Structure 1
Amino acid sequence: MKKLIVAGLGSMGWPMASNLLGAGFDITPYDVDTKKVEQFERLGGTGGELSTHLAEADGLLIMVVNAEQVRSLLFDKGMAEKLKQGACIVQMSTVSPGDSAQISREVRAIREDLYYVDAPVSGGVVGAEQGSLTIMCAGNPDALAACRSVFEVLGSSIFQAGYSAGQGSAFKAVNQLLCGVHIAAAAEALALAEKNGLDLEVMVEMLGGSAASSWMLKDRGPRMILPPDDITSMVDIFCKDLGIVCDAAKQSRSYTPLASAAYQLFVASSERGEGKLDDSQVIRTYRLLNGKG
């Protein structure tokens, strides 16, 4: 697999496409923002008629916001119909397990000669830039083998979640449950420390080396005690991702009260106009409730 269409040049898709380009893949970029496409082509991306490139591509890598955008690309814009026989649709966006499985069925309904690989990622913008993403993939064994060289450029950890579309997205839902709950728990703990007048820098250092530590505490904690600045992942991203977690739990009739509580925290922050802030800033909602907002 050497010739790819990369659809979605956002904060994740752009560095992923750039890393593939740097590794020698022939990358044709696509985005609704044509200026991004033109900019990527100036960096070495393949330009020209998209329909022609789709007919020649070994794979279509999709990194967009949600399932609706995935469907728009594949069906409304006709990308699934234009791909060559045997091509892989590598769906790497975060969508619900049910949506991923349904999209796979919709692809198969119009093209039985295509492969659909369910391969969401974890690691955020930093992971995308460094090529150190965690990739959770599910699909036909031959398709997964064909995608291996692509995944090895994009990620440092590749896990086979199964052979059916939806299983990769289910892996991601479990991952995001813990991520969201850990951020919410870290914010609650540091808000409690702040309410009690404790030194937050010392508190973050202490917690980071104790049994109470988590990756999210170490990463988000220092940003929680500073004014809003750099954004690595927005509050609104976790509104979406934890919404997917709650939907997946509902579909499987699973009891996930902590995920639901964390989801409400992120939604409350977003509804207060803070959805575009770094997700560490959910602590501001706790501060408001504690009378320190």
Structure 2
Amino acid sequence: MDKNVGVIGLGAMGAGMAASLRRAGLRVHVFDVRQPAVADFARDGGVGCASPAEMAAHCDVIVSVVVDARQTESVLFGENGCAAAMKAGSVFVMCSTVDPKWSAGIEERLLAKGVHYLDAPISGGAARAAKGEITMMTAGRPQAYAAAGGVLDAMAAKVYRLGDRAGAGSKVKVINQLLAGVHIAAAAEAMALGLREGVDAAALYEVITHSAGNSWMFENRMPHVLAADYTPLSAVDIFVKDLGLVLDLARSSKFPLPLSSTAHQMFMQASSAGFGREDDSAVIKIFPGIELPGKAQ
């Protein structure tokens, strides 16, 4: 593919996505507020950019993998943002978890500038991102897909087309996050009960992951608890935000979500206790009267 592609945000997901694009033979330009991350990627065979605006001057496709709507607004319309510099007919691929109505509004703002937009939240984790095997939940006009060319397939094992207007992809991602957040909270609750009852934590993990009570989140997150490693791959505060989006979406149609509400309160409690920037599995720290595993000596 003879394309210049930009990736904004070199966190756990963005770095892997950028590497996947590079493996596919694309000319990959990157920007991150952490300049060492940009320098590392450029040293391995990419192009570092000093700002989103600089990237936009060179790239036909820009993939944004920042934390939330506020950061996306900043890289688009803030100082040295890319929106004003993007070429007519280029496409902005928005991969954050955001309010679906907000995403639809960004589509309209960019279309007014002659720029295409794809509502394209992602899932799969850092390991799959590094392999080019994430899932993308996309929605947008046919012209936006055409402008993106094969870029989406270079990053993802599954690219779902969920609608011809922005917003549908974000709705599906919000629903995915409902399950993800509830499952992490339930996994933490189950492990906490096991610890309270004196069950060997490693044995409990082994049994559950080979039994009907298992979930992807239990299997993926509880090893962080067993290793006492709360280095954030996805932080507690991410689920404060994402479950908040879940509840906002449901509130607009007065739809009850009792499990989501409880899980949101659990993550809120963990954040308020000072664990907001730790791995989301740190929600287990809200449970009283348990002794969590310590780091191996």
Task: Indicate the SS of the match to 1:181.
Answer: helix
What residue is the counterpart of 1:104 in the other structure? Answer: 107
Partners of 1:106 and 1:12 lie apart in 2 by 26
What residue is the counterpart of 1:172 in the other structure? Answer: 173
Q: 1:61 aligned to 50, 60, 63, which one?
A: 63
> Alpha-carbon deviation of 1:135?
0.7
> Alpha-carbon deviation of 1:48?
6.6
Q: 1:48 to 1:118 in 2, by over 3 A?
A: closer
> Alpha-carbon deviation of 1:134?
0.9
Partners of 1:231 and 1:291 lie apart in 2 by 22
What residue is the counterpart of 1:125 in the other structure? Answer: 126
Q: Is the 8 A contact 1:137 1:144 kept in 2?
A: no
Task: Indicate the SS of the match to 2:252.
Answer: helix
Letter in 1 for 2:92: I
Task: Indicate the SS of the match to 2:12.
Answer: coil
Letter in 1 for 2:109: E
Task: Indicate the SS of the match to 1:162.
Answer: coil
Letter in 2 for 1:172: K
Note the 1:115-154 alignment, pairs <5 A: 115-147=116-148, 149-154=150-155
1:39 counterpart = 2:44 = no
Letter in 2 for 1:73: V
1:81 counterpart = 2:81 = no
Q: Is the 8 A contact 1:126 1:232 kept in 2?
A: no
- For residues 194-228 of structure 1, the C-alpha deviation after alignment (integer angstroms, 9 at most, x for no partner) is 22222322222222222222111111233334423
| Percent of aligned positions that are identical | 42
Q: 1:95 aligned to 87, 92, 98, which one?
A: 98
Partners of 1:187 and 1:53 lie apart in 2 by 41
Task: Indicate the SS of the match to 2:63.
Answer: strand
Q: Which runs of 5+ in 2 are unaligned?
A: 293-297
Letter in 1 for 2:10: L
Task: Indicate the SS of the match to 1:12.
Answer: helix
What residue is the counterpart of 2:295 in the other structure? Answer: none
Partners of 2:156 and 2:81 lie apart in 1 by 29
Q: Is the 8 A contact 2:92 2:117 kept in 1?
A: yes
Partners of 1:37 and 1:223 lie apart in 2 by 28
Partners of 1:139 and 1:81 lie apart in 2 by 20
Partners of 1:268 and 1:48 lie apart in 2 by 39
1:17 counterpart = 2:18 = yes
Q: 1:207 to 1:52 in 2, by over 3 A?
A: closer
Q: Is the 8 A contact 1:184 1:262 kept in 2?
A: yes
What residue is the counterpart of 1:163 in the other structure? Answer: 164
Letter in 2 for 1:101: A
- For residues 129-161 of structure 1, the C-alpha deviation after alignment (integer angstroms, 9 at most, x for no partner) is 222111101001232244352122211122112
Task: Indicate the SS of the match to 1:157.
Answer: strand
> Alpha-carbon deviation of 1:53?
4.9
Q: Is the 8 A contact 1:98 1:248 kept in 2?
A: no
Q: Which runs of 5+ in 1 are unaligned?
A: none
What residue is the counterpart of 1:278 in the other structure? Answer: 279
Partners of 1:235 and 1:49 lie apart in 2 by 30
Partners of 1:48 and 1:121 lie apart in 2 by 24
Q: Is the 8 A contact 2:116 2:143 kept in 1?
A: no
TM-score normalised per structure 2: 0.89
> Alpha-carbon deviation of 1:259?
0.9
Cα RMSD, aligned residues only: 2.2
Note the 1:197-216 alignment, pairs <5 A: 197-216=198-217
Q: Is the 8 A contact 1:9 1:63 kept in 2?
A: yes
Question: Runs in 1 of length 4+ with deviation above 3 angstroms?
Answer: 47-53, 290-293
What residue is the counterpart of 1:256 in the other structure? Answer: 257
Q: Is the 8 A contact 1:173 1:245 kept in 2?
A: yes
Partners of 2:27 and 2:253 lie apart in 1 by 40
**More deviation in 202-211 or 33-42?**
33-42
> Alpha-carbon deviation of 1:120?
0.6
Letter in 2 for 1:65: V
Partners of 1:72 and 1:153 lie apart in 2 by 26
Q: 1:22 to 1:235 in 2, by over 3 A?
A: same
TM-score normalised per structure 1: 0.90
